[in-house]
Structure 1
Amino acid sequence: MSDSEDDSNLPPQQECLERCKQFAELTGTDRALAMFYLQDREWDLQRSVNDYFESMGKACGSDDDVQVISPPETTAVNDTEPHRLRLLSWNIDGLDKLNQESRTKAVYEKIKAENPHVVFLQEVIPPIEVMIRGYCSDYKFLSGYVHGSFQYYSAILLKKDFLTKFDSADIIQFPGSVMGRNLLIAKATIKGINFSFMTAHLESCKEHSKERVEQLKSAFKKMKEFEKDRTVIFGGDLNLRDKEVAKLPENIYDLWEVTGKRPEAKFTWDMNRNDNKEFGGDFKPKLRFDRLYIKHSIPPTVKPVYFELVGIERLKTCQRFASDHWGLLTHYDKV
């Protein structure tokens, strides 16, 4: 989707609505995604539908049937770092429509450059999901979208190679959420190590602190329920203030803290450094909204060794950042 739009080929409003409806019916999606595809393809319905199925790993047959073409679940790779695993977590600010395509491409380029085995994403929306699926075809995409809920959600990406075996996925709704928030869980084995991965976008805003803390307690409780032979990593845009998590449960550790508490890697939402969002007045807040936690297996199977912020480079295409949040990149060594 380009950052500027040409309305010269725009059909009448009623026709636009009808084509959105037809697209949604043909693809089993919704009108928000239909609008994205049709606007970007001069309102050509057939081309939009074909491009959608192609991007989802499908092709339209000549008899109008849809034939599913599944990409290989595993790819042979030469593991040049047999001792190392990497996980990236990032709120990619899908609600910001400005420069959306170039910013999403920057997220993909960072994923490609860092080559993480696991990616947590927050604030995904359907058009961005389509782009990420297309860019990151070598990852299995697990969506936290629940039909009828808010149009932004979390996702987990797992590398598709012979070193990774996907086991199962689950979504647990936070019952007290007024923002449709949930906990997305994936169980997988990577390099012979059993993992449970959990990501969430906890309740936003200062006034929802009580609900946010309840959601955090629920996530910590779930971490403790997994089998003892599993390493559990949980995190995402947790919207936390330090006072809301003054003391961690036993055997759960903050990955920023255990990797050295580097001050330059502390604040993930920093209005002093990141100007994607306008914030009036002289005071510019900086907070550690995005966090990652680990519960080790018994005996421990990995050691956290590195923690850094990503996405701190201003994009040449638009002179903005990929997101208003910095991403978190963590490294682990097998033990």
Structure 2
Amino acid sequence: MSLDDPQIIDDEQQDEKLSDHDNDKSLSSLTSDSSNECPYNDDIASKVSTAFAKATGIDIEFAIQLLKDHGWNIDQALKATYEAKEHAQLIVNMKQNWKDSNEKYFKILSWNTDTTDTDEVEFNELIQQRTETMIEILLREKPDVILLQQVGTFALTLIITCLSSLYDDESIQIDSSNNSNYISIFTRKSSIKKKNVSIIKNSENWNMLKIEIEYKNSINIDLFNAFIDENTYSYCFEQINKTNPNHIILFGISSQISDTFWNSHIINLDDLWEKTNQRPETTYTFDPELNSNINENDKPQRYDRIFFRSLTSMNNQFKPVHMELEGIQHIKTSDIIFPSTHWAIQGYFDVNN
């Protein structure tokens, strides 16, 4: 049978028709979801969704979800799309000046990676892709201190391997019952001397990591990293408040605690966001409106925070000057998936030795 055989051509054309039919069927199943009834028939809904995705430059599934969320009102969906893009661009623009003066400041980055191990191969592949993007961001930013929460074994291994030439690291399990969920502290070798490592724990096997460091041979800092809930909240801050009064404190924290629960009398530390002008674009680290990794329809939350305590005796020698969000870029293999369900927080401190 030759390559010009009409039977082969007919078969190929039939395959193309079947492929197109499958795509239409896939779009149809997405657009006909009864969770937000579409006013169009399947054919028109598919065309509207495809055109909307092309016009806005977003993934087709994300386009359909946006249209559903706004009752298939194209104007409202467009407005939401462009507002999200403008918000992201604003964050990028405002960060640029701080990038240009990178070496002048002490930098600390805290990030809930949401990379807990899973037995599903498909999810593990996605975790690898997300982690690779995280590593790119960490190597680009090169903060002096990196605090990571909810890190799975696989992701942690990748991160340690890729950062080992620049950073020392310490990691512990968040709790003894879950041996594949870690918190980690990375300290930059060129600027930090690690002096002591300890684990703070309660009777219910909850763990917090503490590292005492010396920054540029002159400033003593106690680093803390933890994932907390309402049950461990008070104990956590009680332990931190017992630390050496002659040391600066830097504490990265992730939680699922709502804003109304926080009690300043218990904390007795400064909140970096509050001390850097509380800029609206840096408020929420868990934001279902902007982060398509999040499947819930919850309100945006400030689940992730950096707390600090400077010393009055230092006369503003270690002063917070800026805070920004990182991790707002998509992973390389997708135009819809972000590195984590949480944005990272990066803080800048002005240091005068």
Scaled by the length of structure 1, what TM-score is found?
0.67
Post-superposition CA distance 1:72-109 (Å, at most 9, x none)? xxxxxxxx866520000001111263511111111111
State the alpha-carbon separation in 2 of the partners of residues 290 and 267 from structure 1: 8
Kindly provide the amino acid, as one letter, of the partner of residue 114 in structure 2: D
The farther-off stretch of 152-161 and 250-259 is: 250-259
Q: How does 1:118-197 map to 2 (within 5 A)?
A: 118-137=145-164, 138-145=166-173, 148-150=176-178, 151-161=180-190, 163-176=191-204, 181-191=206-216, 192-197=218-223
Matched, 1:293 2:318: no
Q: How does 1:18-57 map to 2 (within 5 A)?
A: none
Q: How does 1:1-335 map to 2 (within 5 A)?
A: 83-95=104-116, 97=124, 99-137=126-164, 138-145=166-173, 148-150=176-178, 151-161=180-190, 163-176=191-204, 181-191=206-216, 192-203=218-229, 209=230, 211=231, 215-249=232-266, 251-279=268-296, 283-300=297-314, 301-319=317-335, 320-335=337-352
* Structure-2 change in CA distance of 1:115 and 1:202 (3 Å): same
1:18 is matched with none
Percent pairwise identity? 27
Contact 2:173 2:207 in 1 (8 A): no
* Structure-2 change in CA distance of 1:276 and 1:97 (3 Å): farther
State the alpha-carbon separation in 2 of the partners of residues 102 and 200 from structure 1: 25
1:124 Cα deviation (Å)? 1.0
Contact 1:94 1:128 in 2 (8 A): yes
* Structure-2 change in CA distance of 1:112 and 1:278 (3 Å): same
Scaled by the length of structure 2, what TM-score is found?
0.64
Contact 1:270 1:286 in 2 (8 A): yes
Kindly provide the amino acid, as one letter, of the partner of residue 219 in structure 2: I
* Structure-2 change in CA distance of 1:109 and 1:248 (3 Å): farther
1:321 Cα deviation (Å)? 0.1
State the alpha-carbon separation in 1 of the partners of residues 103 and 152 from structure 2: 34
Post-superposition CA distance 1:261-293 (Å, at most 9, x none)? 0111011111111111322xxx44211100111
State the alpha-carbon separation in 2 of the partners of residues 274 and 243 from structure 1: 23
Task: Report how many residues are paired.
Answer: 240
1:3 is matched with none
Contact 1:240 1:290 in 2 (8 A): no
Contact 2:174 2:181 in 1 (8 A): no
Kindly provide the amino acid, as one letter, of the partner of residue 270 in structure 2: Y
| Unaligned residue ranges in structure 2 (runs of 5+) | 1-100, 117-122
Post-superposition CA distance 1:211-269 (Å, at most 9, x none)? 1xxx2222222222222221001122132211111424475111100011011101111
Contact 1:195 1:230 in 2 (8 A): yes
1:129 Cα deviation (Å)? 1.5
Structure richer in helix, relative to its length: 2
RMSD: 2.1
Contact 1:174 1:183 in 2 (8 A): no
| Unaligned residue ranges in structure 1 (runs of 5+) | 1-79, 204-208
The farther-off stretch of 294-303 and 101-110 is: 294-303
Kindly provide the amino acid, as one letter, of the partner of residue 91 in structure 1: N
